[in-house]
Amino acid sequence: MDGFETVPVTASPKRVLLAWEFGKGNGHAQRLAMIGRRLAAEGFETRYVFQNPAAAQVVGIHPSQVTQSPRWPEPDLSRWTPGHQKREATRTLGQTLGVAGFGDAATVLRVAGEWEELVEAIRPDLVIADYAPSAVMAFRGRVPVIMVGSGYSVPPADADVFLPFHNWTDKQLFAEDELLANVNAAQLRLGRKPLDFFVRTMQGDRNLVCTWRLLDPLARVRREPQIGPVEPKIPRPDGRERDLVFAYFHPDLLSRQEIMELLCNLPKPALAVVPGIPPGARRTIVASGAEVSESLADMADLLPRCRAVAHLAGVGVASMALAAGTPQLGLTTHIDSLWTGHAVQWAGAGLSPRLDSSEDFAKMLRRLIEEPSFAAAALRLATEIAAQYPQSALDTIVAACRGSVGIAG
């Protein structure tokens, strides 16, 4: 076996590389896994390059299909003023990439050179990039590149600069011209065509924004439409009685007293999903009367029967809860979760306190359930989403892939 997932639909299947380079958690890997499975069923060969190959098994990809992406160093934040560091580093995605390594010319050249080896080893006909700027650098102009991701990680297709997510500061850590110079020094050294703007590292031949418009932080300036989240099945309100409270958190958060208090005070009946939950924490939460699971159930079936959902304001759970018409408590941390949580709150369908605030999260969750305005707003948004997005994102992506490699239909 050569590590490719294949379905013998065509005599000469097209080879697609699905690349993920930056971003924590398993959301990027999950999105690419769902796309890859669908493309395999359509007759494509699939190969993955992940920054964290261990995520493959979590999302159902065989390890033989996955190659480690070139490694970027951990960012050195020591030279920036702590009080401004996060504001400046998160103002645009370009600034975040500068902190992540694009601010150092030698690092960019090393990573680009390692990607060149992958170009020769894999030789794809098509690349799907999810927060993978070095993959875009490597394959741009060689084969079609399709960018997928949230509104946070996919810039508008017609932008020549990275646009700001917030106005907390107008300072920047890096000039984009300096970052572009680092990129083009590597491009020229490797015999590649230089880029005209730094933002091109996050733009493909096609750019598919995989979220609802409500959750796109750049919706106000984006011309291309959002295609919705990549899910095989999108939940819809189905008339069932809403008799459950659902919570989904990473096990690392259980060390925080306020999270354990929230999980032990969920209105019952309740289901807490915590992958890899420690045995002691499981016993404590179960003793409170809640059910505990390590695996995420079928959210399309689960969410329409939930009175409310509590989570870390991730765009994946938020998208599904919006489609299901379920009010949500989204605890915010970094810039994209801050935007996601606030967008839901501004629309009236939830509350979004900061994780490090002194708020009583359990009390806020009870408020979501007891005040009917939240449920009404959530159902209204679900109705709007169902009307605005009649085609699944996976269908849109498959059509884009087929068109990009000249397959009719």
* 43 and 23 within one domain: yes
DSSP string, 79-100: TS-HHHHHHHHTSSHHHHHIII
In this predicted structure, the answer to whether residue 9 has a pLDDT above a threshold of 50 is no
Supply the pTM of this predicted model.
0.89
Q: What is the per-residue pLDDT for 404?
A: 95
Neighbours of 296 (CB within 10 A): 13
Omega cis (within 30) before 269: yes
* 298 in any annotated domain: yes
Output the pLDDT for position 1: 36
- 400 and 270 in one domain? no
Average pLDDT estimate for 193-209: 97
Same domain as 156, residue 19: yes
The radius of gyration of the chain from alpha carbons, rounded to an integer in Å, stands at 22
Query: Any alpha helices (H) in 246-371, and if so which ranges?
Result: 257-264, 279-287, 299-302, 315-324, 335-346, 361-370
Task: Note the pLDDT of residue 64.
Answer: 93
Q: Is the pLDDT of residue 97 over 80?
A: yes
Please report which confidence band the pLDDT of residue 246 belongs to, taking 50, 70 and 90 as the band edges.
very high
Residues 215, 343 contacting (CB under 8 angstroms): yes
In a shared domain, residues 288 and 223: no
Place of tokens 């998160």: 90
What the block records as the tokens of 173 is: 């850590």
Same domain (yes/no): 119, 211: yes
Q: Residue 68: inside a domain, yes or no? A: yes
Residues 176 and 63 in one domain: yes
Q: Is pLDDT at 282 greater than 50 in this prediction?
A: yes
- Residue 206 domain flag: yes
* Nearest by Cα to 137 from 114, 106, 164: 114
Say yes or no to pLDDT of 5 above 60.
no
Q: What is the pLDDT of residue 171?
A: 77
Confidence grade of residue 2 (pLDDT, cut at 50, 70, 90)? very low
Instruction: Check whether residue 357 and residue 374 sit in a common domain.
Output: yes
pLDDT tens track for 308-365? 999 999 899 999 999 999 999 999 988 888 889 999 999 999 999 999 899 999 999 9
Q: Is residue 97 part of a domain?
A: yes
pLDDT at 24 (0 to 100): 80
Percentage of the chain surpassing pLDDT 70?
93
Cβ atoms of 311 and 249 closer than 8 Å: yes
Residue 142 near residue 204 (C-beta atoms within 8 A): no
The domain in which residue 306 lies consists of 244-388
Residues 351 and 265 in one domain: yes
Q: Average pLDDT of 10-39?
A: 90
Q: What is the pLDDT of residue 76?
A: 66
Cα–Cα dist 157/203, whole Å: 6
Within a domain: residue 239?
A: no
Q: Are 346 and 330 in contact (CB under 8 A)?
A: no
- Average pLDDT over the chain, rounded to an integer: 92
**What is the band of 256 on the pLDDT scale with cuts at 50, 70, 90?**
very high
Same domain, 206 and 272: no
Q: Which uninterrupted H or E stretch holds 117? A: helix 105-122
Clarify whether residues 92 and 217 are in a common domain. Answer: yes
Q: Is residue 8 part of a domain?
A: no
Do 375 and 395 reside in the same domain of the chain? no
How far apart CA 316 and CA 300 sit, in angstroms, is 12
Please check whether residue 83 lies inside any domain of the structure: yes
pLDDT digits (tens, 9 = 90+) for 29-57: 999 999 999 999 999 999 999 999 999 88
Using CA atoms, how far apart are residues 212 and 224, in angstroms rounded to an integer?
12
What's the average model confidence in pLDDT over 291-307? 90
Phi, psi torsion values for 248, nearest 5 degrees = -135, 115
- Position 11 pLDDT exceeds 50: yes
Residue 5 lies in a domain: no
Q: Does position 376 have pLDDT exceeding 80, yes or no?
A: yes
7 pLDDT tier (thresholds 50, 70, 90): very low
With a cut of 60, say whether residue 10 has pLDDT above it. no
Q: Do 210 and 274 lie in a common domain? A: no
Asked whether 1 and 32 are in contact (CB, 8 A), the reply is no
Q: Please name every residue paired with 79 in a beta bridge, in sequence order, or none if there are none.
A: none
Q: Express each pLDDT in 106-149 by its tens digit.
A: 999 999 999 999 999 999 999 999 999 999 999 999 999 999 99
The CATH number covering residue 28 comes to: 3.40.50.2000
At residue 219, what is the residue type? A
Residue 5: beta bridge partners? Answer: 46
> What is the count of structural domains for the chain?
2
- pLDDT tens for each residue of 226-241: 999 999 899 999 999 9
Number of neighbours of residue 409 by Cβ within 10 angstroms: 6
